[in-house]
Amino acid sequence: MKPGNLAYPKRIYSLDVLRGIAALVVVFWHWQHFFYEADHPKDFRVSDQPFYDLIPFAYQRGNIAVELFFCISGFVFFWLFSKAIASREISVKAFLIDRISRLYPLHLATFGLVALLQMVYVQSNSSFFIYQANDAYHALLNLLLMPAWGVEKGWSFNAPIWSVSVEFMLYGVFFIICLLGSFRYLAVPALILFGWFIYPDNYKLGSGFYSFFSGAFAFVLFHTVREWKGALVTTAASVVVFALASLIAITIGLNSYFFLTGVIFPSAIVCLAAVGCMYPSFLRPFGFVGDISYSSYLLHFPLQIVFALLAQKLDLTKDVFYSPWALVLFMLILIPLSYAGHVAFERPVQTLIRGWFRTPQRIQDVALKP
């Protein structure tokens, strides 16, 4: 594809890489788990964590990488599916099976794995590892992919799944507003405001709505300007906007949550998408980072339980996890494990489920057709 061509590629590798990096940032943020007793930190020295001087933001604000997930999803889903859903080319059944086959298999596998590991952990400890609400009620919520819909009483099982739970709800809202046709463009800013409004009372749902539909709004602007002014002007403008937004963020400080998640993240996504659309091979060699994002996100917590159990077995204190070598070893296991999980489990099971229901292997093919 030549620069200036307005056709969209089937895959924007730059966004895949960004998503993969966000997943790894969450791992750094959760490194603090090793210094907890039950569900709260004890004698925890934040700045002593491995490579803190190189990546302080990951340890201080790495939790908002989840909002980046939401924002990327909003952008990508409006890009891939909104038009096809609005024109009824993608059915509810096809969309639902596509999402369930993508999300559920690894979720169920890691849910079961964490349940078993927590049973082992609690045998030699007075509490579960980090997340304490591991009862039948929360097991049911997890099985239904509803552990973050506002009916939960605490963090449970493989708790990072909370963002996937919220996103599963957002998929339903997204599908419904796409059926509104052109009115979906009015619904998007309304849902951004809705997320902002409910955030103080329910930050899980609030952050999901706010960030997902901020990403959706970013795509609408990106697509409109691209159709109007062309790919080259859009790319140049997106770089300028992102640079200005970043300058403002540095000036006012990154503690401005809604500016960071509602302006910086969307402008970064648009910038990377614009470059990725002009040059489809941009960052392609690193596409695997995006491929393993879901598996690394769901596997890192059970792997943490294994590391905690091994440390206890070897009579090592928690201080061992301040060592850079502990983090290096963890990553050397997590990344290959995530890749193996993606290739040997995620993709085959996904294909199997879609084959059972005889749905298209990639409904994106429908969404992207001329």
Instruction: For residue 48, give the DSSP letter.
Output: G
Buried b (16+ CB within 10 A) or exposed e, 236-265: ebbeebbeebeeebeeeeeeeeebbbbbbb
- Which pLDDT score, from 0 to 100, does residue 251 have? 84
User: What phi and psi, each to the nearest 5 degrees, are found at residue 36?
Assistant: -100, 155
- Which pLDDT score, from 0 to 100, does residue 368 have? 38
Residue-wise pLDDT for 317-348, tens only, equals: 999 999 999 999 999 999 999 999 999 999 99
> Considering the entire predicted model, what is its pTM?
0.93
For range 72-90, the mean pLDDT: 94
Using alpha carbons only, what angle is made at residue 288 by residues 261 and 269, rounded to the nearest 5 degrees? 25
- Which pLDDT score, from 0 to 100, does residue 172 have? 97
- Which pLDDT score, from 0 to 100, does residue 3 have? 45
Domain coordinates in residue numbering, the chain:
13-367
Mean pLDDT estimate for the chain: 93
Confidence category of residue 250, pLDDT binned at 50, 70, 90: confident
Residue-wise pLDDT for 124-166, tens only, equals: 999 999 999 999 999 999 999 999 999 999 999 999 999 999 9
- Which pLDDT score, from 0 to 100, does residue 279 have? 92
